[in-house]
């Protein structure tokens, strides 16, 4: 999915469980994802056992291959009140039989403009598909799980931008 540097706009609509109110709360996240960088330690594999057990990552069959795992930083605003949030993402290209570039991602989100463990909102786990990997990129990330604020949530993340810049 992320074998290129990407600085897209992020549009996210997630439905998550409000831990205080037993009901779903759907909120939009809009922001920027900094250019992704290769992640030599392939941190997405740490989430495999609990969140992607049936997924085969390219890094598992070619652990020394560069350009199969990536990490990035994001800045965004949450909901109608544009509450500032920040985050980190970890992704890995996955093997598939559908003939398109696919991946899986773990996205950590924090309240505020700086990633700070004491402000953790939770993690979002996604399965990703790249619609157009050249120039103007379009990616669809489907949430398959979450933690803390996003536990039990579901939603779709659309990433659009120029893969070459």
Cα 58 from chain centre: 17
pLDDT at 43: 94
What SS3 string covers 147-161? CHHHCCCEEEEEEEE
Measured CA to CA in angstroms, residue 84 lies from 42, 54, 81, 87, 94 at distances of 28, 34, 9, 11, 31
Domain ranges of the chain: 9-162
Phi, psi of 164 (to 5 degrees): -95, -5
> Residues 87-106: what's their mean pLDDT?
90
> pLDDT of 110-125, one tens digit each?
999 888 888 999 999 9
> Residues 87-91: what's their mean pLDDT?
94
User: Which of the two residues, 26 and 69, has the higher pLDDT score?
Assistant: 69
Question: Average pLDDT of the chain?
Answer: 79
Q: Taking 50 as the threshold, does the pLDDT of residue 165 lie above it? A: no
> pLDDT of 23-47, one tens digit each?
566 778 888 888 788 898 999 999 9
pLDDT at 88: 94
What Rg value do the Cα atoms of the chain yield, rounded?
15
């Amino acid at each position: 999915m992320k074998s290129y540097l990407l600085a897209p706009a992020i549009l996210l609509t997630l439905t998550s469980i409000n831990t205080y109110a037993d009901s779903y709360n759907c909120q939009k996240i809009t922001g920027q994802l900094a250019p992704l960088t290769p992640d030599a330690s392939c941190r997405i594999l740490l989430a495999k056992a609990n969140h992607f057990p049936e997924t085969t990552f390219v890094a598992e069959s070619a652990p020394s291959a560069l350009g199969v795992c990536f990490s990035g930083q994001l800045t965004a605003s949450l909901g109608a009140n544009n509450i500032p949030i920040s985050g980190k993402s970890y992704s890995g290209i996955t093997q598939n039989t559908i003939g398109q570039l696919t991946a899986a991602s773990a996205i950590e989100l924090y309240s505020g403009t700086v990633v700070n463990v004491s402000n953790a909102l939770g993690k979002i786990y996604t399965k990703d598909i790249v619609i157009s990997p050249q120039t103007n990129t379009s990616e669809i990330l489907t949430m398959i799980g979450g933690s803390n604020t996003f536990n039990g949530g579901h939603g779709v993340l659309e990433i659009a931008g120029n893969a070459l810049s």
